[in-house]
């Protein structure tokens, strides 16, 4: 009997380049959500396709990388968003380079193809361009240029159309030489008088191009500089001179600047014209020029050339916004906007394009946030709390003061929320000393009198301790227990607190991140209060909320932020503002000083201490820095104690101290055992010592305005006049302007607005956990009106159709953008 031959395994197939690249592009567009296809999920399709594709033309190390990439898609859905983004980008590059290798190696070895008629330049120019076409096929781009564009993450026509310029330079305004003004960007059309090109006598590697041009109103000299040995060639230099012979008509565009030789254009772009009225064909001269984000090895001219070639495809973009919305907000269509954001017909067209695309960024962001809030309310049911009861009334009776109108308004908003079965998710903003904590206590008591437990979480032990002291004072009068849980809490006390929580006998627990530990279990958590919520990560806040069954959540911040920033960061929250300070608060006298004024500062400190008051001295560093010429807290403490104030007791407080040491030092200062305390920004929030009347901030120019405002809030908490001294060691004019803001105002909301203008929203909020979305064009500083309009439009759209099903293109666009900005799906 003859053995049967073993089955021949199916030959591996060549990759379907177009299908693979398209699937990667769609996954990127939809926000890296591991899309569900008809047969497979995206990750399953990629893994299988890469594993079964034949790539014999790759080198061994590239073969290995191909297989490793396929294996990484096994756990694609488990990766965090940023790692999914990186994997998709790497795979697109891998496929692109493999495809180029395939064309170079495999195609020449295949059977000869019938000779194709030569394509004329006109036919190439008029070739139909599709949105999903690879950049390789664009006229004037080709494989080598496409390879460079891939470094920017640009693979398809759609990619490059939505690769917005970061800025524009307007060279479209043509002027006469006599009308040039420094600082303007202009275009000149003039006649060449003489041209010279030579190696610099001082630097042999530098070549100088010198062109003198003249029009009817005057004469100007233009220079360009070329660094590198290849420009030293006499032949190259002579070639440059032949390009611009005397009598030639040229157009020159650039920024007008003043030099030691008079007015000139800075590094101008120059083009020779056929005659004085000739058409300018340059991509830069005489027009509004786009400036793109670049990387090493990618020249701006390449990106501009590729964009020009791709622009005809902008007409194929489908308009996602309904016509009524476009008309009501006077917005141009998406195709026109894309075309004019790159190469606008004029500055007006550019403004209209920017306005549309900025509106889109804000509109879809707000739409997503509002839908998320709506879904949370629909899917989560909380326990309605009793807003009126004996505990709340008794609390009002024991308070030695009346609530301000602003506090009463915010309390009413909170109590209305907690009476609803939908869980409250409200942010209370209030300036330093506005009385946020006492407002939160009303909500805590409403939950307790309704039979539920409560929790208050603060970001630092100092702040948690401060809250605990206040709450103990109030709760003792109401005969209610309250406990404190921090990293410093002893094991025995932890066990006692855990037992009281599980039995339900502890109505309120105050603490730090220790509250979210697994061992902390509440019997019935009904309300969570989170102070300085922006200092916690999203997951940390969520873990505390998971200790109960959809508890009501009240978050607080003493860092007021402008409404535009609040709408962006907290668009899915209800926001209340306590914009009124209690009566009787004296304004803190704020003064900017320079080091030569230090004697006056020390005299004020001595005078206040003599009157029984206390003083903060704040520095930005704990220890001396070799790179920064700044005073450190440790060395300044020694200097002040030993040299400046030897008769006073000077304390020291900084973040590297253990919690117990910090608490002990603050307690000594609070008890009056020391007159001056030298500190870093660890006292920025949570330290409440009414007897402190002077705040001296060294190197004040190193702090943001919002942070300075927080530090200033540590004084002025008692009945005495208080002072804030801002020691400015910088001669920078902008630094002086920033500190002048502190002298002019004590309004935290206005100061935050100015801080955002000076430093940008990312720096104001802290880039690490700011939660700010990555906006391509829109600015939270400059486009506040557009954000307000977009918010209003988003609210109206949801009111008309909460599911957006009547606008399928808009719904699809929202899904894609929400995935990119926020991660996860908005429609489930």
Q: What is the pLDDT of residues 484-528, one digit of tens each?
A: 999 888 999 999 999 999 999 999 999 988 898 888 899 999 999
Q: Is the pLDDT of residue 72 over 70?
A: yes
CATH code of 589-745, in short, is 3.40.50.300
Determine if residue 365 is left, alpha or beta; phi over 0 gives left, psi from -120 to 50 gives alpha, anything else beta.
Answer: alpha
**Tokens representing residue 729 in the block:** 């060691």
Q: Which residues of 213-244 are buried (b: 16+ CB within 10 A; e: fewer)?
A: bebeeeebbbebebeeeebbeeeebeebbeeb
Lowest mean pLDDT among 419-433, 562-576, 706-720: 562-576
Q: What is the pLDDT of residues 79-102, one digit of tens each?
A: 877 677 778 877 877 777 777 666
Q: Is the pLDDT of residue 14 over 70?
A: no
Q: Is the pLDDT of residue 228 over 60?
A: yes
Lowest mean pLDDT among 251-255, 404-408, 692-696, 713-717: 251-255
Report the pLDDT value the prediction gives residue 596, as an integer from 0 to 100.
92
Report the pLDDT value the prediction gives residue 17, as an integer from 0 to 100.
67
| Cα–Cα distance measured from residue 312 to residue 119, given in angstroms and rounded to the nearest whole number | 19
Report the pLDDT value the prediction gives residue 288, as an integer from 0 to 100.
72
**Confidence label for 13 from pLDDT (cuts 50, 70 and 90):** low
CA angle 145/148/150 to nearest 5° reads: 110
Please indicate whether residue 124 or residue 95 has the higher confidence score (pLDDT): 95
Quote the CATH superfamily of domain 390-419+435-557: P-loop containing nucleotide triphosphate hydrolases (3.40.50.300)
Q: Does this model's pTM top 0.85?
A: no
Residues 6+ apart with CB under 8 A from 257: 182, 183, 263, 264, 265, 266
**Confidence label for 455 from pLDDT (cuts 50, 70 and 90):** very high
CA angle 493/498/502 to nearest 5° reads: 150
pLDDT, mean of residues 238-250 = 86
In terms of C-beta density within 10 A (0-12 exposed, 13-18 middle, 19 or more buried), how is residue 729 classed? Answer: middle
Please indicate whether residue 37 or residue 636 has the higher confidence score (pLDDT): 636
Report the pLDDT value the prediction gives residue 649, as an integer from 0 to 100.
95
**Confidence label for 54 from pLDDT (cuts 50, 70 and 90):** low
Q: Which residue has the tokens 């002893």?
A: 490
Cα–Cα separations (whole angstroms), residue 619 to 73, 437, 678, 728: 49, 28, 8, 12
- Residue 152 in contact with residue 302, Cβ under 8 Å? no
Q: What ranges do the domains of the chain cover?
A: 17-109+123-161, 173-286, 323-379+785-822, 390-419+435-557, 589-745
Q: Is the pLDDT of residue 22 over 80?
A: no
Report the pLDDT value the prediction gives residue 630, as an integer from 0 to 100.
66
CA angle 451/457/461 to nearest 5° reads: 135
Q: Which residues of 785-801 are buried (b: 16+ CB within 10 A; e: fewer)?
A: ebbebbbebbeebbeee
Quote the CATH superfamily of domain 173-286: Nucleic acid-binding proteins (2.40.50.140)
* Longest alpha-carbon distance in the chain: 115
Cα–Cα separations (whole angstroms), residue 759 to 106, 557, 764: 54, 20, 7
User: 452: closest CA among 540, 399, 400, 523?
Assistant: 523
Report the pLDDT value the prediction gives residue 698, as an integer from 0 to 100.
93
Q: Which residue has the tokens 């962001």?
A: 365
Q: What is the pLDDT of residues 516-539, one digit of tens each?
A: 888 889 999 999 999 876 666 666
Please indicate whether residue 807 or residue 21 has the higher confidence score (pLDDT): 807
User: 715: closest CA among 696, 697, 693, 700?
Assistant: 693
**Comparing 390-419+435-557 with 589-745, is the CATH topology the same?**
yes
Share of the chain above pLDDT 70, in %: 83
Report the pLDDT value the prediction gives residue 775, as an integer from 0 to 100.
76
- Residue 138 in contact with residue 306, Cβ under 8 Å? yes
Please indicate whether residue 111 or residue 568 has the higher confidence score (pLDDT): 568
| CA torsion, ordered 110, 112, 117, 123, to nearest 10 deg | 0
Report the pLDDT value the prediction gives residue 449, as an integer from 0 to 100.
92
Count of residues making up the chain: 828
User: What mean pLDDT is reported for the chain?
Assistant: 82
**Confidence label for 571 from pLDDT (cuts 50, 70 and 90):** low
Q: Is the pLDDT of residue 439 over 90?
A: yes
């Amino acid at each position: 009997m003859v053995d049967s031959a073993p089955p021949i395994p199916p030959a591996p197939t060549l990759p379907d380049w177009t299908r693979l690249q398209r699937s990667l592009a769609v996954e990127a567009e939809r926000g890296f959500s591991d899309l569900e296809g008809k047969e497979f999920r995206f990750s399953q399709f990629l893994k299988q396709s890469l594993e079964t594709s034949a790539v014999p033309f790759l080198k061994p190390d590239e073969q290995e990388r191909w297989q490793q990439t396929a294996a990484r898609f096994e756990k694609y859905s488990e990766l965090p968003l940023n790692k999914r983004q990186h994997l998709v980008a790497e795979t697109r590059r891998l496929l692109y380079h493999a495809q180029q290798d395939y064309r170079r190696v495999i195609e020449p070895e295949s059977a000869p193809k019938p000779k194709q008629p030569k394509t004329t330049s006109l036919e190439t120019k008029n070739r139909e361009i599709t949105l999903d076409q690879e950049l390789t096929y664009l006229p004037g781009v080709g494989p080598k240029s496409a390879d460079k564009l891939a470094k920017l993450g640009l693979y398809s026509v759609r990619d490059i159309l939505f690769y917005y310029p970061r800025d524009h330079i307007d060279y479209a305004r043509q002027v006469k030489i006599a009308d040039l003004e420094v600082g303007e960007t202009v275009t000149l059309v003039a006649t060449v008088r003489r041209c010279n090109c030579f190696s610099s006598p001082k630097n042999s590697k530098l070549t100088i191009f010198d062109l003198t041009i003249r029009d009817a109103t005057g004469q100007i000299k233009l220079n360009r500089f070329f660094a590198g040995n290849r420009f030293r060639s006499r032949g190259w230099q002579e070639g440059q001179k032949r390009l611009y012979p005397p009598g030639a008509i040229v157009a020159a565009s650039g920024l007008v600047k003043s030099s030691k030789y008079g007015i000139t254009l800075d590094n101008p772009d120059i083009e020779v014209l056929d005659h004085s009225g000739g058409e300018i064909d340059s991509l830069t001269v005489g027009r509004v020029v786009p400036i793109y984000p670049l990387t090493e090895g990618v020249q701006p001219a390449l990106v501009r050339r590729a964009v020009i070639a791709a622009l005809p495809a902008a007409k194929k973009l489908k308009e996602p916004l309904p016509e009524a919305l476009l008309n009501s907000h006077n917005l141009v269509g998406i195709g026109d906007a894309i075309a004019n954001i790159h190469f606008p017909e004029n500055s007006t067209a550019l403004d209209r394009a920017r306005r549309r695309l900025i509106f889109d960024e804000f509109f879809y962001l707000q739409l997503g946030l509002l839908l998320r809030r709506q879904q949370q309310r629909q899917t989560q049911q909380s326990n309605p709390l009793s807003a009126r009861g004996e505990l709340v009334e008794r609390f009002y009776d024991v308070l030695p003061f009346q609530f301000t109108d602003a506090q009463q308004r915010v309390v009413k908003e909170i109590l209305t929320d907690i009476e609803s079965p939908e869980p409250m998710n409200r942010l209370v903003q209030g300036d330093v000393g506005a009385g946020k904590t006492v407002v939160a206590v009303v909500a805590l008591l409403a939950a307790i009198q309704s039979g539920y437990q409560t929790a208050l979480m603060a970001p630092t032990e100092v702040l948690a301790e401060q809250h605990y002291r206040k709450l103990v004072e109030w709760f003792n009068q109401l005969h209610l227990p309250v406990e404190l849980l921090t990293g410093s809490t002893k094991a025995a006390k932890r066990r006692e607190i855990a037992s009281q929580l599980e039995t339900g006998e502890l109505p309120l627990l105050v603490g730090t991140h220790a509250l979210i530990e697994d061992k902390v279990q509440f019997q019935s958590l009904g309300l969570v209060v989170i102070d300085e919520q922006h200092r916690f990560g999203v997951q940390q806040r969520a873990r505390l909320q998971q200790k109960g069954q959809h508890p009501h959540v009240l978050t607080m911040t003493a860092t007021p932020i402008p409404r535009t920033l609040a709408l962006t960061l907290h668009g899915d929250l209800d926001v209340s503002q306590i914009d009124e300070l209690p009566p009787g608060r004296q304004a803190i006298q704020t003064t900017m000083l320079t080091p030569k004024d230090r004697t006056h500062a020390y005299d004020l400190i001595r005078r206040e201490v003599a009157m029984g008051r206390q003083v903060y001295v704040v520095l930005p560093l704990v220890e001396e820095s070799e790179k920064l010429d700044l005073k450190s807290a440790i060395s300044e403490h020694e200097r002040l104690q030993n040299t400046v104030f030897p008769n006073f007791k000077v304390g020291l407080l900084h973040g590297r101290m253990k919690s117990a040491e910090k608490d002990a030092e603050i307690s000594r200062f609070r008890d009056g055992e020391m007159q001056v305390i030298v500190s870093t920004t660890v006292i920025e929030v949570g330290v409440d010592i009414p007897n402190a009347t002077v705040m001296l901030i060294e190197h004040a120019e190193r702090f943001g305005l919002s942070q300075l405002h927080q530090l200033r809030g540590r004084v002025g908490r008692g009945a005495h006049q208080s002072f804030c001294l801002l020691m400015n060691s910088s001669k920078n004019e902008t630094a002086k302007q920033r500190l002048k803001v502190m002298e002019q105002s004590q309004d935290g909301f206005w100061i935050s607005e100015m801080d955002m203008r000076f430093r940008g929203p990312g720096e104001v909020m802290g880039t690490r956990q700011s939660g700010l979305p990555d906006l391509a064009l829109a600015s939270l500083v400059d486009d506040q009106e557009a954000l307000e309009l977009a918010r209003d439009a988003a609210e109206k759209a949801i009111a008309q159709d909460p599911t957006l099903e009547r606008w399928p293109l808009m719904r699809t666009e929202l899904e894609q953008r929400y995935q990119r900005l926020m991660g996860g799906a908005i429609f489930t």
